[in-house]
Amino acid sequence: MEIKILSRRGKTHSFNISHWAPIPVGTFNPGVDFYVKNITNSDITENAVGADMETSQSTVLYPGWNVELFKEINCTTVSTLLYGM
């Protein structure tokens, strides 16, 4: 028996992060869904598009890996966020 984590769109996802890299300042959309890690000690508020959403909305990113799955994020501060998949 195979167990999969599926989004509402039927895409397979994993909670395990095996690749991560910095998110550059500006609109970031790598073409795949991703998780975000706040590498600061403070909450950061950014505009982002959730994996199953069509429009951007403001979200608070807590220090560490956040549980939300995104397809796009607008990063406003350099060297604060990583993306992972």
What does the alpha-carbon distance between residue 71 and residue 35 come to, in Å, rounded to a whole number? 9
Two structure tokens written together for 7: 């989004």
Domain boundaries, the chain: 5-84
Q: How confident is the model at residue 49, as a pLDDT?
A: 98
Summarize pLDDT for 2-34 with one digit per residue, the tens. Answer: 666 666 777 766 667 889 999 999 999 999 999
What does the alpha-carbon distance between residue 68 and residue 50 come to, in Å, rounded to a whole number? 7
